Structure 1
Amino acid sequence: MSLFSFIKEAGEKLFGSGETKAAQEAASKAPTPVNVEAANAAAAKAIQDYIAKNNLPTAGYDVKFDGASGTVIVQGNVDTQEIKEKILLCCGNVAGVEGVQDQLYVPSQEPEARFYTVVKGDTLSKIAKDMYGNANSYMKIFEANRPMLNHPDKIYPGQVLRIPA
């Protein structure tokens, strides 16, 4: 089990609408165990829906959210290290999430990718030059982060990216 840190203010804004917003408002006005549990469940569902939207598998593991600590807990089994890392990034690159507890099991040992947090002024070319020594390797980073990235120029400060070996 490991804990990955993320920037709470950066990422997809999944918690500001619909069922998630209603549950969070109820929990903030009258914080009862039932309201807090409903808000956490709604947030977890929003994250699961975001994972599915990114065409990643959603079976074999559970996603839970603890709003008090801003932590997502992901536990279960996935097929590959790449899928595991993409699921962890989907969970963490969400506004309101500070950490992701990785309790995912991959049946075969594969090399882990490095993770990189984007800072102001970064481009995929700049990151590729720093990581690989060649700015033209930016597509390797882009492809490693698809489908979460849909264009090489659309990265933002605070976003965490997979950097494959």
Structure 2
Amino acid sequence: MGLFSFIKNAGKKIGIGSDDDAPDVEAVKKELASHDLGTDKVQVEVVDDKVVLKGEVADQSIFEKAVIAVGNTLGISKVEAADLTVAAAPAKEPVFYTVKKGDNLWKIAESQYGKGKGAKNPLIFEANKPMLTHPDKIYPGQVLRIPALEE
């Protein structure tokens, strides 16, 4: 676990420069901090079109949210988090889903949790807050975290 892929030409534009350019490290730090996830102990580096996250976060959900917060940025194709640790317990392999054209949270819930489980879509929305502000505001290429179902 540690290297996650994203679509370089999809995502939120931060900083200055063309859409093909990766944002500078200060813009990425500001974007991560804007979500108020509790990532104050996380160091950020930008190497070409890859963001490297190092440090410690409190729990698994913050780990996953930090990865998608910076990965869903225009110009970023990879997030390396091998040196990002979880204080509460060892980090588990996260489940991410890349949104395709025509997707909505209901369809994504059914594809990830099984037929007839589309009503579980609020779990996906809640798991991706504050990066998602409305359930209908997802876009192709965006990467979402998929929480495990508590059965």
- Provide structure 1 residue ranges, at least 5 long, that are not aligned to the other structure: 25-38
Letter in 1 for 2:53: V
Distance across 2 between alignment mates of 1:54 and 1:60: 14
Distance across 2 between alignment mates of 1:6 and 1:144: 18
Distance across 1 between alignment mates of 2:86 and 2:39: 15
Aligned equivalent of 1:73 = 52
State the 1:131 CA deviation: 1.2
Distance across 2 between alignment mates of 1:164 and 1:111: 11
Q: TM-score of the superposition, structure 1-length normalised?
A: 0.80
State the 1:111 CA deviation: 4.4
Distance across 2 between alignment mates of 1:96 and 1:110: 26
Would you say the 8 A contact 2:38–2:58 is kept in 1?
A: no
Distance across 2 between alignment mates of 1:63 and 1:49: 10
Query: What SS does structure 1 have at the residue aligned with 2:97?
Result: strand
* Greater Cα radius of gyration, structure 1 or 2: 1
Letter in 2 for 1:7: I
State the 1:15 CA deviation: 2.9
Aligned equivalent of 1:151 = 134
Aligned equivalent of 1:28 = none
Number of residue pairs matched?
Answer: 142
Q: TM-score of the superposition, structure 2-length normalised?
A: 0.87
Distance across 1 between alignment mates of 2:41 and 2:91: 19
Would you say the 8 A contact 1:141–1:164 is kept in 2?
A: yes
Would you say the 8 A contact 2:33–2:40 is kept in 1?
A: no
Percent identity over paired residues: 46
Distance across 2 between alignment mates of 1:155 and 1:139: 13
Aligned equivalent of 1:30 = none
Aligned equivalent of 2:9 = 9
- Provide structure 2 residue ranges, at least 5 long, that are not aligned to the other structure: none
Please give the root-mean-square deviation of Cα atoms over the aligned residues, in Å: 1.9
